[in-house]
A and B are shown apart, each in its own frame.
Chain A
Amino acid sequence: MTTAPVISGTQLRLRPHVLSDMDAFGAFYQSDRAQYVTKPDGPTHLWYGFASEVGSWALTGMGSWAIEVGGQLAGQISVTHPPHFPETELGWILLDTFEGRGIAFEAATLAIAYTRDTIRPASLVSYIDAHNTRSIALAKRLGATLDATADRCDDADVVYRHNVGETA
């Protein structure tokens, strides 16, 4: 079964998730920082969300990485395409104390490069809650552009389109 590849950057590395990462995300979802994402309603829901993004690698060759900074879990970066998503999505979660250091930007840049070179989807977008200004700012910093007409599952989201080259 395929798991996430390890990718090293300058201040962080992307690595496969381990079980103990789940506790940190459980705490994240209970915090105000999770106001723009779907909160799990209990341990079963948390497990299904977390384990499915790990298993996505085995099924589709894409999924979630843990972002690790100095040996500590700093967040998650994901490239996923469950059947109900119109397009392949790049998503990110940054844990509380790691903000403001360019970590999400570097992690996303590495993930986009891997996506472009290896996953090679027809397209790559980020679905972001329209009120999540910090995530929207990151999408723009990554060079993504607003696509007002793209299909989306959640009407509360805006769609930012990344450039992954001419692989379609």
Chain B
Amino acid sequence: MTVRFSAPTLTTDRLTLRPPHLSDFDALAAFYAAPRSHFVGGPQTPELAWRTLAQEAGHWILRGFGRWTVVETATQTPVGTVGLWHPEGFPERELGWDLFDGATGKGYATEAAIAARHHAYATLGWTTLISLVADGNDASARVAKRLHATRDGDFTHERYGPMQVWRHPGPEALT
């Protein structure tokens, strides 16, 4: 007997947000091998990148929500990992965005994050959401600003170090 857990797929104008697949491994391992990943716990060996990908899938099963692999719909190329994340060690539920190399500068993080945030509020019924931005990750802070999140203190993660807490507008402010 095999049990299935159903994770939703979301679509935007240019992007498809789907559950993580085994086939995402090469793209994720490449992201975590590159220096850009130092804001989110990288660089990581392929062993740890595997653990990260499997953890993304396990997060869905254990918590009932998680992060999607974001695919550029026209090309079916994975461009990043965006979604609702609450691993142990985080202060509360987070909206996170990691874009792979070559996918930045196109507004993809903002576009995917808006869809994920809408899912959190409209489908899951959440009333608040933060994003954690590592100190110095200015590109990520700009995404937070574009999403109209505002600074709400600081948090020191046991691994990622000092992080800015950005709090998103609640569902009532977005309707």
Give residues in A with beta carbon < 8 Å to B: 1-6, 16-19, 22, 42-44, 46-60, 82-84
Contact = CB atoms under 8 A, between A and B. Distances in A.
B57 A19 contact: no
B61 interface: yes
Contacts of A22: 88
A65 to B, nearest CB: 11
Contacts of B19: 1, 58
Given A44-B89, A44-B159, A52 B3 contact: no
Contacts of A54: 57-58, 61-62
Contact of A1 (B6, B50, B88): B6
B161 to A, nearest CB: 12
Contacts of A46: 88
A52 B51 contact: yes
Contacts of B25: 83
Nearest to A41: B158
Contacts of B57: 1, 54-59
B2 interface: yes
Interface in B67-97: 87-89
Contacts of B87: 44, 47-48, 51
A50 B61 CA distance: 12
B63 interface: yes
Interface string B40-68: 00000011001111111111111100000
Given A16-B61, A83-B50, 18 more contacts: A1-B5, A2-B2, A2-B3, A2-B5, A3-B5, A6-B3, A43-B88, A47-B88, A48-B51, A48-B87, A51-B54, A51-B58, A53-B54, A54-B58, A58-B58, A59-B53, A59-B57, A84-B47
Nearest to A47: B88
